Each structure stands twice: as C-alpha cells, then as structure tokens.
Chains A and B, each alone.
Chain A
Amino acid sequence: MVLDFSDYTFWALAAPFAAAAIAPVAKKYLGHNAAWLLALVPAAIFLHLWNYILPVSNGTPVVLATDWIPLYNVKFSIFIDGLSLLFALLISGIGTLIILYAGGYLKGHADQGRFLSFLFLFMGSMLGVVLADNLITLFIYWELTSITSFLLIGFNHKLEASRRAAIQALVVTGGGGLALLAGFILMAHTGGSWEMSELLGNRDILKDSPIYTAILLLVLGGAFTKSAQFPFHFWLPNAMEAPTPVSAYLHSATMVKAGVYLLMRVNPILGDTVLWSTILPIFGGLTLLIGTWMALRQRDLKLVLAFTTVASLGLLVMLVGTSNEKAITGAVMYLFAHALFKGGLFMIVGTIDHEAGTRDLTRLGGLRKLMPISFITAILAALSMGGLWPMIGFIAKEEVYAGIFGTSPHFIAITAVAVLGNAMMFAAGFLVAVRPFFGHERTTPKKAHEGPMLLIAGPIVLSSLGLITMIFGGFTAHSLLAPMASSVAGVQAHVKIGFGLHFNTALALSAVTVVLGLVFYKGADKIRNAKGYLIEFLGKGPDKGFDYVIAGLVRGAAGVTRVLQNGNMESYLTFTFLITAAAILLPLIGWNELPTMPQIPALHFYEWGVLGLALVGLIAILIAKDRLTAIVSLGIQGFAVALIFMLFGAPDLSFTQFMVETLSVVIIALVMTRLSLKEHDPRPLYQFLLDALVAVAIGGGMALLLISVTQVPFDPSLSNFFTENSRLIAHGRNIVNVIIVDFRGLDTLGEIAVVMITGLAVVALIRGTRHAYRKNVDPLDDMMNNEGADK
C-alpha cells in the first residue's frame, strides 16, 4: 500500500512534531491547562491506531511506503503488525497521560512550554522507531530518540548533574546507534532489502550469512545501550535527573523499551542461534540481578524505580534470548504489564515528591490518610509489579515462569535468576508503594496532601488498567498480546488471560518468589546499609568509568593539541614542508618515474647570463647581512624573472613583472624602514641543517617533477583553441589579453575583486584602531577572568 498524505497514519506520525511546535504557544495563552488541549493529540493518535487492532489481530500486517531517496532505494515506510501496534498504542496512550501529568507537575514553571515541546518531539520519534519499516527510517527515528531524550534529561540544564546525565545518555545511546547503523547496513546488504517486513519474510538468510556474528554484535550494541543492559546500564538511573514526567515516560513505554523492541523485532531473523541464546540470557540475567540489588539499596524513591526498570529490561532481554515461544509470550505479557505499573508508580512518586517535597524513602511515612487516591493506585501498581493475584502482572509472571521452566537447556540457572530477581523486584515495588504510606506520619518539607487532577489522572488510569485488562482478558489476550507474541516469536502464539489459578510449577515458583520477596522487604534497611560488594562495583563501576573515559578524552585531546599545535610557527612550516617534500618525492621514486636527465641544451650567452643573474639574486638574499642587500637582491631575482619572460615570448608578463618588482621593492623598503630587521638569521646548527635538508628536498623535488612533466608529450589542444579563435570570434590579436578579458573574463573578475579586497584590507589594517597586544600581556587573560567571575 502506498503511503500518501491523505492517509491519517501519516498525519498520526507527523502530529507529535506539529504539537511540539504549538505547545509553547498554547502554554503561553492557556498556562498549565494547555495540557488538557495538547493531550488530545496523542489521544487522537491512540484512537486512530486502535482501528488497526482488527486487521492486525486477524494476522494481516499493514505496510505503507513512500519513496524517500529513490536513488539508494530508501523509503519512508511503516510496518504495523502486532509488535509495533502494541508499542505504538502504549506510546500514544501513556503519552496522553504523561502530557496531562506534565501539565500539573511543571505548573508555573517558566519553561513548561519548552518541556511539553520536547516531550512531543520525543513521542513522535518513539512512534517512528516502532512503526518504521525501512531500516534507514528506523535508524533516523532511533537517533532522534537519543537526541530528544538528551534534551529531556538535560531539561534542568543549570544543574551539573543534569548536564552530565544528559551527555551520558547521549553518548551511550548515540554511540550504540552508530553500531546499529553499521548493523543495519550489513543486514540490508546481506538480506537484499532495506525493509524490515521483507527481511522478516526471509528468515534464514541472515543466520546463514558468514557475517552473522558481526551483524548480531552490532545490532546488540545498539539494543543493549538503548535498553540499559549491563555494562551500559548506568545512564538510566542517572537520567533520573530529569523531571518525573520524563522518567515515567522513558521508563514505562518508551526509550528503554526501544532496545527491547528491536530485539523482539529481529528475534525471528537473528534469534534462536547459539550466540543469541548465550549472550542475551547472560547479559539479561546479570542486568536483572544487578538492577534489583541496586534498587533495594537506594533511598530515593525514583532511583529505586529506576533500578527496577533496569532489572525488568534485563528480565525481558533474558526471556527474548531464549527464543522460546512460550517464554516470549511471557516476555510480551510482562512488557505490557510493566508499562502499566511502572508508568503509574513513577507518576505516584512524582506526586509524592511534588506534594510532600521529598522522595527520600526514610523520611516518608503515613501518607495513606493524606493521599488516599495515590495510596490505592500505588498499591494496585505494586501488586502488579510484585506479580500478585489478581493483577495483570500476576498472569505475566506465571507465563514467564511457565515459559522458562523446563524449556531452555540451562533452564535451572535462568529460572533461579528469574525467581531471585523477581523476589527483589517484589520487595522494591512494595518499598515504593507501601513504605511511604504506612507507619507513622513524618514531617516533610511540605505539608502533604492529595495531588490535583492533572497529577493523579495518569496513575488512576494506568493502575486500574492493570485490573481492567484482566477483566477483559479475552480481548487483551486475543487482540493485543497474541498478535504481538506471534510477531516476536515468528510463529502463532497463544495467550490466555483469566482469573483462575492453575496449580502447577509456575504457581509454586510464584509462591517462592513472594516468600523470598517478603524476606527482602523486611531486610531492606539492612541491605541498604550493608557495605559494598562485588555487585556494587558492577553497578557503579561503569558509571565512574564513563567519567574516566570522558576525562581521558578531554585530556588526551588537549595533550595532542599541545604537541601538534604548540604555537611555534617554525615547526608548523617544517612539518608542512616535510610532508610536501614526501608527497612530491615518494611517488616519483616509488613508481620509478624519475625523469631521464636530458642534455644541457646550447644557449645563447645572454640566456646564460639571465639564468646566472637569477641565481645570483637568490644566493645574495640567502646570505644578505643587511636589509639594503636583501631588498636589492630581491629586486635582482625579480628582474631576472622578467627577463626570462621577455626571452621566451611573453612581453606582457615581462612588463608586468618589471612594474611589480619595482613596486615590491618600494613597498618592502617602506615597511622595512619601520621594521627593525634582525640582521642575522640565528638558527642553531641542527636547525640550519634540517631546514637546508627540507629546502633541498623540496627544491630538488620540484625540479625533478617539472623535468618529468616537460618530458611527457604536450597536449596543446586548449592553447590551440585560444590561438585559433582569438581573432575569429573575439576580435583581438593579443591572445593573452583576449584570454584575460574575454575567454576567461569571469576568472579575471574574481581576481580583480581579490586585488580590490587586499587594497581595502591594507587600508583597514593601517588605519584600524590599535590594541594593547604588547609582549607579555595575554589579552585572553581578561576574558578568562571575566568568565571565571561568572561561575
């Protein structure tokens, strides 16, 4: 199907960017209530995408395409199947709530319009990532998410921590993006198509390719950085510097899920190989354990949630890594449940922060009476996160356990990791949802009270969806999750959602998880205060490593600059000339193109005389001891050149050269009377030898080059053209002048413009204002000092 401008899907992709443009204007006139209006945009996108549920769940994905760069076969194309549709629905649906939430959260903030604008840009990019079919389109949207998340994370750009987090996110995800681009190019090259939908139709071509390993590692480089897998996980908790709406959005439905999306997308064409099933579970499992452990050790509620996101991503990657249909069904359900409960929890934490003035775990308590709605929604979300009946999270976890137990060759290890991770996740979820609300009331910086409608609308919707999707389990399973699981697994997947309990291994594992989770919850304070372990190092190490890398880059660059750009013009010129000499001489010698030495021709005595005069002039300049000698010698060599022109049939050049030499001597004399020229040239001996060597190399090289040039046959066709047509069509008998003013008039026009500009420049230099750039006074000092005062 051809994508054209009358198709609403095109407008759905463009709408967030348009909304980004109008957001600041809307905010200016409507204040924070502009959010109500702006939220209509993602809501409309959501409703439009909803129309695709029926065709997609019937197993007919939609492909829309339009030519973009036809020369390279790059299209702007979108591909809507179960996987991309559910992602797009989550992005636009949660996006609607996030826009509302941002309206309340940043109420009264001077830059709220800009913030909303960034959010929309990010939303548009993210929609593009999941809907793009063409690999180049996908890559561009992928990089756009990196850039827009940089803008969002660095929103409080006056804080250094915020800037650091933003740069970190950009460097890590942008760097991964470059790897991804390379991977995509190899994929397209091997698979013969830039379209993901076409590659999916030809499953084994990439796996059988000899460069499969390279493709896989490059694509994983992109996915792991984006999805914050160990050892790239560090940017995600740091991104908590962003205002809470950003965290809620980035963590629930977008950004970090982009990596998981990509892995799920390529699972049919790259997955189910030994390499895939080794790398993904190992890194995923490691990320899960590190993430949950770090989560339990945090005081800041947002950081607790951030690390659980890292952990959840690890779990998802581990599950995708099994390439097992049932495990993938579990992953899909878990991803869906996670988007709902994590989005809700982040918004609740933000509301607590907003209303109580702190989000320090140890300083909050007893909020359940003050913030009853937040309390209920938090409990619902935490139940889902902990995988407890009757929330969607429960079914998801059951499915995960059922999917991994007994199916993978290393299922015992994977199951153990999953149970341990989930138990800690359970504890972390309850730390966030229970701790602040129970216990006795604490004094907080602000008197806590329930948040306004804009703030609590999102949590209410998302948390209750955790239950509603269970109630309408048939629809959820058949229309949303089954198509997605089928796309990911590459075969028809079956999803069942119901309230009924099945007494099997999965339920037993769940029971173990809950018991373990309660233990961790009780011991949370001990874990937090425990001394560092290896896992601590694994968690924090890469973050410090990032600093070292950046510092090393800066210092390394400064060091290299100091060595190469040392402010010593002598050395610049020496290097330049050395390389020039090499460039002239090496090809001549290397390709054995040295000219044959011709006979010295017979010359008239006056010709010898002129050549001798030129040499005398040159040598006199070299050994001149005072400025008069130097100027006169300069004149001598110039007049010799004029004579050479005269001897070889160039009277115009000869006259010009005479006049120019006269003027040069006059001007140099005028300047030299003002400049006190050092009489001698005090180069140290080694310098003298080096410079002489370079000079001889260049001089000899040029001579050899010119002799070679003159020994190849001359092609006079261009000169003949001018000679033949000078009188015929340009009515001039002086061919040189005709070339200058007629045939090559445009060149001459440019050249006289240059002459004119030098005239202007000279006058400006002489008459310009004078500055006190005296010796030993560094003019930059002033500037530096002023800058320092600002800090």
Chain B
Amino acid sequence: MKTLIFRTIAPFLAALMVLFSVFVTLRGHNEPGGGFIGGLIAASAFAIHGIAAGVHSVRRTLYFRPLSLAAFGLMLAGLSGLLSILFRVPFLTGLWAFPEIFGVELALSTPMFFDIGVYFVVLGALASIALTLEE
C-alpha cells in the first residue's frame, strides 16, 4: 500500500475528506448529511492516512487521542441536552437562537451541538478502532 503516489496524495486526500466531513455535518439538518455520516467520512480519512503514512503520523496529526475525541463528543451531546435544565424544559429539548452577526442570520441550536457531538463520537471511536488495528 505504501506506493509513492498514494503516500503523497493521502495527506491531501485526508485533509479534503476531513473538510468535507465538517461540511456534511453542519449542513445535515437541512440537506442530506449529519453527524453520523460526517464522523464516518472523517474516520475513513484518518484510516486512509494511517495506511499510507503510518499510524504514528496520524496520531501526531490528530494531536488528541481518538478516544478522547469520542469522549469529548459524548460529553458535548450530553451537555447540549442538559442545557434545557436552565430553561426548565425536559432533557434534550431543542433550544434555538437566531442571532444576527454581520447581517447574516445564524441558526444556533442545541440539536446542532448534539450532532457535532455525534460527529466526534463516531470519528473518535471508529478512528481509534482503525488505528489500533493498523498498528
């Protein structure tokens, strides 16, 4: 697998895939996509990078341990549900805010953060599995 072309392209491919995964995740609420798909794409990106450039390189690129990322995601999802406590509504109730920044309306919501949490859990757990097996 360690052909020259693959090794050269892999980091760029991985970077592109990660970028794409973020895009897919964020648009997920309105168009096809979402945290599960985004996380899978990102995990595949790291798996490919790992095959091409070695696990060590991926771990350095990731900086955080994959399982820590997954734990962070789980915590983010849980907290976005817990936020509803402050508004005295049931756990995981969707809360929305539409602030305007520089004239652009942003849709901030707890389901979005929840989805980002899903993204990190899937990314972290699957990347961790893939990297552990590649070692």
Q: Do chains A and B touch in the complex (CB under 8 A)?
A: yes
A residues whose Cβ falls under 8 Å from a Cβ of B: 651-652, 655-656, 659-660, 662-663, 666-667, 670-671, 730-734, 736-738, 740-742, 745-746, 748-749, 752-753, 755-756, 758-760, 762-763, 766-767
Taken together as a complex, chains A and B put the C-alpha atoms of A759 and B69 apart, in Å, by 11
The reply to whether A738 and B121 form a contact with Cβ atoms under 8 Å apart is no
The reply to whether A737 and B125 form a contact with Cβ atoms under 8 Å apart is no
Chain B interface residue count, Cβ-Cβ cutoff 8 angstroms: 50
Which residues does chain A contribute within 8 Å of B43, judged by CB atoms? Answer: 663
Contact stretch, chosen from B7-15, B34-42, B56-64: B34-42
The reply to whether A749 and B81 form a contact with Cβ atoms under 8 Å apart is yes
Give me the 6 closest cross-chain CB pairs, A-B, nearest first.
A759-B125, A659-B40, A752-B121, A733-B30, A651-B32, A745-B92
Q: Does B23 contact A (CB under 8 A)?
A: no
Question: What are 15 A-B contacts with C-beta separation under 8 Å?
Answer: A663-B47, A666-B47, A667-B129, A667-B133, A732-B111, A733-B30, A734-B32, A741-B111, A741-B114, A741-B118, A748-B77, A752-B74, A755-B121, A766-B133, A766-B135
The reply to whether A659 and B34 form a contact with Cβ atoms under 8 Å apart is no
The reply to whether A762 and B96 form a contact with Cβ atoms under 8 Å apart is no
The reply to whether B35 and A670 form a contact with Cβ atoms under 8 Å apart is no
The reply to whether A732 and B29 form a contact with Cβ atoms under 8 Å apart is yes
Q: Does B70 contact A (CB under 8 A)?
A: yes
The reply to whether A756 and B107 form a contact with Cβ atoms under 8 Å apart is no
B105 to chain A minimum Cβ distance, whole angstroms, is: 12
Which residues does chain A contribute within 8 Å of B118, judged by CB atoms? Answer: 740-741, 748, 752
Taken together as a complex, chains A and B put the C-alpha atoms of A106 and B35 apart, in Å, by 71
- Known: A730-B111, A731-B107, A759-B124. Contact between A749 and B78, CB under 8 A? yes
Interface residues of B in 95-122 (CB under 8 A from A): 96, 107, 109, 111-112, 114-115, 117-118, 121-122
A-B pairs under 8 A by CB, number: 137
The reply to whether B91 and A746 form a contact with Cβ atoms under 8 Å apart is yes
Q: Which of A662, A740, A755 contacts B44 (CB 8 A)?
A: A662
Taken together as a complex, chains A and B put the C-alpha atoms of A663 and B45 apart, in Å, by 10
- Give per-residue flags for B51-76: 1 if the beta carbon is below 8 A from chain A beta carbons, else 0: 10000000000000011001101100
Closest to A731 in B: B96
The reply to whether B129 and A759 form a contact with Cβ atoms under 8 Å apart is yes
Closest to A670 in B: B133
B94 to chain A minimum Cβ distance, whole angstroms, is: 5
Taken together as a complex, chains A and B put the C-alpha atoms of A756 and B78 apart, in Å, by 13
The reply to whether A762 and B122 form a contact with Cβ atoms under 8 Å apart is no
Taken together as a complex, chains A and B put the C-alpha atoms of A766 and B130 apart, in Å, by 12
- Known: A660-B40, A752-B74, A766-B132. Contact between A733 and B31, CB under 8 A? yes
Taken together as a complex, chains A and B put the C-alpha atoms of A740 and B122 apart, in Å, by 14
Closest to A767 in B: B132
The reply to whether A737 and B34 form a contact with Cβ atoms under 8 Å apart is yes
- Known: A670-B133, A760-B67. Contact between A741 and B29, CB under 8 A? yes
Q: Does B126 contact A (CB under 8 A)?
A: yes
Which residues does chain A contribute within 8 Å of B41, judged by CB atoms? Answer: 659
The reply to whether A734 and B122 form a contact with Cβ atoms under 8 Å apart is no
A78 to chain B minimum Cβ distance, whole angstroms, is: 47
The reply to whether B121 and A742 form a contact with Cβ atoms under 8 Å apart is no
B53 to chain A minimum Cβ distance, whole angstroms, is: 15
Which residues does chain A contribute within 8 Å of B107, judged by CB atoms? Answer: 731
Taken together as a complex, chains A and B put the C-alpha atoms of A651 and B24 apart, in Å, by 12
The reply to whether B70 and A759 form a contact with Cβ atoms under 8 Å apart is yes
Taken together as a complex, chains A and B put the C-alpha atoms of A376 and B22 apart, in Å, by 99
Q: Which of A734, A752, A767 contacts B33 (CB 8 A)?
A: A734
The reply to whether B30 and A734 form a contact with Cβ atoms under 8 Å apart is yes
Taken together as a complex, chains A and B put the C-alpha atoms of A138 and B130 apart, in Å, by 63
The reply to whether A756 and B121 form a contact with Cβ atoms under 8 Å apart is yes
Closest to A655 in B: B37
The reply to whether B28 and A737 form a contact with Cβ atoms under 8 Å apart is yes
Taken together as a complex, chains A and B put the C-alpha atoms of A767 and B77 apart, in Å, by 28
Closest to A763 in B: B132
The reply to whether B115 and A655 form a contact with Cβ atoms under 8 Å apart is no
The reply to whether B74 and A753 form a contact with Cβ atoms under 8 Å apart is yes
Taken together as a complex, chains A and B put the C-alpha atoms of A670 and B77 apart, in Å, by 31
The reply to whether A752 and B40 form a contact with Cβ atoms under 8 Å apart is no
Closest to A755 in B: B125
Closest to B121 in A: A752
A283 to chain B minimum Cβ distance, whole angstroms, is: 65
The reply to whether B70 and A756 form a contact with Cβ atoms under 8 Å apart is yes
The reply to whether B111 and A745 form a contact with Cβ atoms under 8 Å apart is yes
Which residues does chain A contribute within 8 Å of B132, judged by CB atoms? Answer: 762-763, 766-767
Which of B73, B81, B132 has the most chain A CB within a 10 Å cutoff?
B132
Closest to A660 in B: B40
Closest to B134 in A: A670
Taken together as a complex, chains A and B put the C-alpha atoms of A740 and B35 apart, in Å, by 10
Closest to B74 in A: A756
Q: A655-B24, A737-B34, A740-B36 are in contact. List 8 more A-B contacts (CB 8 A).
A: A734-B28, A740-B118, A741-B118, A745-B111, A749-B81, A749-B92, A759-B66, A760-B67
Which residues does chain B contribute within 8 Å of A652, judged by CB atoms? Answer: 32-34, 37
Closest to A727 in B: B30
Which residues does chain A contribute within 8 Å of B51, judged by CB atoms? Answer: 666
Which of A671, A732, A753 has the most chain B CB within a 10 Å cutoff?
A732
Closest to B43 in A: A663
Taken together as a complex, chains A and B put the C-alpha atoms of A656 and B32 apart, in Å, by 11
Q: Which of A742, A749, A759 contacts B67 (CB 8 A)?
A: A759
Taken together as a complex, chains A and B put the C-alpha atoms of A748 and B111 apart, in Å, by 11
Which residues does chain B contribute within 8 Å of A766, judged by CB atoms? Answer: 132-133, 135
